[in-house]
Amino acid sequence: VAYAHEKGMIHRDLKPANVMIRPNGDPILMDFGVAKMLGGAQHTATGTVIGTALYMAPEQVRGEIPDERADIYSLGVMLFEIATGERPYEGDSAISIMMKHINEAVPDVRALRDDVPQGLADVISRAMAKTREERFQSAAELATALRGISSAPSSRILFG
């Protein structure tokens, strides 16, 4: 994700189905079908919603033009799911899920799984902040925060 952002591209539809794992264990990002080049011509109308409801940033739900921080939010949702085995927001329709991304507080990871390191819960919460300004400002910044957690003894639960 950081590499795509460095090249001026935002994915806009990050979800587990778009991440494949190579035989050596390295992840590879797939399906750039709705990706957008930053600073490029606008190909979608303002107010158009693009993405998958379960992983969509609040600004995407509102039809605003997303930037890299929308991908950060989606990564946060994926991390939430990895850490807890559950999605942060469920509903009976895409619309009800999207409204939860806008209106409901980020669920407490540790309330669902008390064995999740507090540092990881904090990273997930920040990645899923409702406003872009409160999130990590780059995928590289998020990666640095995650690397800091993986060196902590209690994080062996999630990182082996």
- Residue 19's DSSP bridge partners are 29
The tokens of 129 are what?
């902040």
Quick one: tokens of 113?
């799984």
Name the residue among 117, 114, 68, 61 with its Cα closest to residue 89: 61
Q: Which of 13, 92, 114, 115 is catalytic?
A: 13
- Here the tokens at position 140 are 């590289």
Tokens matching residue 133: 């300004």
Quick check: is 31 catalytic? no
- Provide the Cα torsion 2, 99, 86, 5; round to 10°: 0
Alpha-helical segments (H) within the chain? 2-6, 58-61, 68-84, 94-103, 109-112, 118-127, 139-150, 156-159
The position carrying tokens 């559950």 is: 86
Positions marked active-site: 13
